[in-house]
Amino acid sequence: MLTSRLRSPQTSRLTVLALLAGTLATASGAAAQEFQDLKKPATPLVLQSQGSFTVGGDIVFSDALGTGGSGHIAVNQMYVQYKVPPSSRVPVVMVHGADLSGKSYETTPDGRMGWEEYFVRKGHAVYLPDQVSRARSRFDPTVFNRVHSGAALPGAQPLISRFSNEEAWTVFRFGPTFGTPYPDEQFPVEAMDSFAKQMVPDLNAMLHAPNPTHKALSDLALSLKGAVLMGHSESGRAPLEAALIDASGIRGMIVIEPPGGCGMKYTDQQIATLARLPILIVFGDHLSSAPRDWLGAFENCKDFIARVNAAKGDAKMLYPPELGIHGNSHMIMQDKNNLEIADLILDWIDRNVGTKVTSF
């Protein structure tokens, strides 16, 4: 109902903002709504195995733990939840973007099936990490506690990144200004409050280069004896970076909307490494309308594709508007047509990585 009102051309921006404010203000009401919004699938989901584990990590000494004073703690590990169907095509590792967690690929903000479950239902084991230092992968609290106690200066602790709802709306291309969606917008903007509740403080600024997530992804692919790596936004280039560490476990790379583009600074030798694997780049719609230079990133990735293919690689662009599919946002895995987009990606995997099915 809110959707249709949001989409009605008669609805003024102020009305939409008032509606959103109303939705956002009723906290427990919204909570109940979120639960009630959950869609039940028509058929059961059958899993051979599921659970979680961590990859990588270092044991370091901390002199500033809140309760325990000092001692050793684990840092830099990557939490991964996994779901394996009874017979499995190539595993897919789905990595989330800035200020987000693995939740990006679970149930959508308006209660529909996410890519995690959909890919599993299509026969792929899915591995869903939280980036190192984020959410269940956790960050090192030491510097914050040292600042609290005066043992370090305030500037020693990093700025913690988190998008405001207003910024997410335009940067993620839900619409031209906060509260106003694009006429053909595919993101479920009526669930903006629910999406806001997925936002996680982003502590990547405190990670030392190289980002430990990249090594963890490369190690995970090796453990899986072959996996497709998918990265989104902040982690968009993570599959490429993982392959440059060790490509031997990686069977394909899916790069979704990396800010700044696909990385034209790679050396010819690095491009030669990347050219050994199939690569799919994905961008949504309205690229020239947002405050961030998504069009520049898109053009940069087209140049990257040309460079990889000139090195006898196999890189392709999935740009839905070219297929007559319009209105996709930066959160393409949560858009209303998310399963239609997923089918295009699954088809690319079948054609470029393989259709081999392994029975366990």
Q: Which residues, 283 to 312, sit near a copy of itself by CB under 8 A?
A: none
- Residue from 89, 122, 138, 251 touching a copy of itself (CB under 8 A): that is 138
**CA gap 277, 88 in Å, rounded:** 21
Residue 193 within binding range of a copy of itself, rule CB under 8 A: yes
For the chain, the farthest-separated pair of C-alpha atoms sits apart, in whole angstroms, at: 62
Lay out the site mask for a copy of itself across 18-57 (x = CB under 8 A, - = otherwise): ------xx-xx-xxx-xxxxx-xx--xxxxxxxxxxxxxx
The separation between CA 25 and the C-alpha centre of its own chain, rounded to angstroms, equals 27
Structure-token match 């392959």, residue found: 243
The separation between CA 339 and the C-alpha centre of its own chain, rounded to angstroms, equals 16
Which amino acid belongs to residue 64? A
DSSP letters for 283-339:
--S-TTSSSS-HHHHHHHHHHHHHHHHHTT-EEEEE-GGGGT-----S-TTTSTTHH
Nearer to a copy of itself, 44 or 324 (CB): 44
Stretch that binds a copy of itself, among 3-11, 108-116, 271-279, 304-312 (CB under 8 A): 108-116
CA dihedral of residues 9, 14, 17, 19 (deg, nearest 10): -70
Residue 157, SS3?
coil
Least separation, in Å, of the C-beta of 272 and a copy of itself?
Answer: 25
**Closest to 45 measured CA to CA, from 127, 102, 125:** 125
- Residue from 15, 145, 270, 337 touching a copy of itself (CB under 8 A): that is 145
Residue 135 within binding range of a copy of itself, rule CB under 8 A: yes
- Residue from 2, 222, 295, 339 touching a copy of itself (CB under 8 A): that is 222
Which of left, alpha, beta for 324 (phi over 0: left; psi -120 to 50: alpha)?
left
- Residue from 173, 215, 307, 336 touching a copy of itself (CB under 8 A): that is 215
Q: What DSSP designation does 161 have?
A: B
Nearer to a copy of itself, 74 or 306 (CB): 74
Pairing of strands 87-95, 69-75: unpaired
Stretch that binds a copy of itself, among 4-12, 135-143, 253-261, 314-322 (CB under 8 A): 135-143
Nearer to a copy of itself, 8 or 87 (CB): 87
Residue 76 within binding range of a copy of itself, rule CB under 8 A: yes
Nearer to a copy of itself, 19 or 147 (CB): 147
- Name which of residues 155 to 174 contact a copy of itself (CB under 8 A): 155, 157-167
- Name which of residues 171 to 190 contact a copy of itself (CB under 8 A): none
Least separation, in Å, of the C-beta of 311 and a copy of itself?
Answer: 29
